[in-house]
Amino acid sequence: MATHFKSALHLATVSIGFVAASISTQASAITMTLPTTNLGANSVFSFNSDVQDLMSNMGMYVTGLGNSKQTSPTAWSFNMPVTEVALSMNLLPLSLSPVSGKASGSALGIYSEEGGLQLANFSLDFKRNVLSADLITTAGTSKNFDVYNFNVAKGLHVSTAGGLSMQMSLTQMTLTSGAQSAFAQALVLPTFAVAVLGNLDFGRLDINIAPTLRFSVSDKAYTSTMVPEIPSVGMLALGLFGIAIAARRKLNN
pLDDT for the residue 250: 58
> Between 226 and 114, where is the model more confident?
114
Mean pLDDT of the region 179-192: 97
10 pLDDT higher than 50: no
Domains of the chain, residue spans: 28-216
pLDDT for the residue 112: 97
User: How far apart, in Å, do the first and last CA atoms of the chain sit?
Assistant: 120
pLDDT for the residue 90: 86
Select from 60, 59, 64 the least CA-distant residue to 77. Answer: 64
Give the three-class secondary structure for 211. strand
114-165 pLDDT, tens per residue? Answer: 999 999 999 999 999 999 999 999 999 999 999 999 999 999 988 877 777 9
Mean pLDDT of the region 163-192: 95
Distance CA 222, CA 230 (A): 25
pLDDT for the residue 17: 38
